[in-house]
A = this chain, B = another copy of it.
């Protein structure tokens, strides 16, 4: 079984947009070992495959005790989800809670050709 499961796009040929919003993402800061909290949005235009929602949830859980910086984790999620479903376009947006009084947003986009 795939770590990130997919299913066939039920409407191949029509470019439409799918957005999944996870307000309960958490990972660890590799420098301080303290947890980071984010809301992650995945917005994509599917090509042949759609992301299966339950396996997406379990995929996000893998980061719970992983030490990784804001910029790196946002780009890593984009890379791995693009690899899994080969979309026409995908955008990952991560809204991170305040650290030292400063909150952060990282947004990365992929576009097939």
Residues of A near any B CB (own CB < 8 A): 9-11, 14-24, 26, 34-35, 37, 46, 50, 53-54, 56-57, 61, 64-65, 69-72, 74-75, 97-110
> Which of A24, A37, A56, A61 is the most central at the interface, judged by chain B CB atoms within 10 Å of its CB?
A24
Give Cα distance in the complex from A104 to B64, angstroms.
Answer: 22
| Contacting pair A14 B108 (CB below 8 A) | yes
**Shortest CB distance A42–B (Å):** 9
Give Cα distance in the complex from A11 to B99, angstroms.
Answer: 22
Give Cα distance in the complex from A107 to B110, angstroms.
Answer: 19
| Contacting pair A16 B99 (CB below 8 A) | no
With A9-B71, A71-B9, A101-B97 already in contact, the answer to whether A17 and B107 are too (CB < 8 A) is: yes
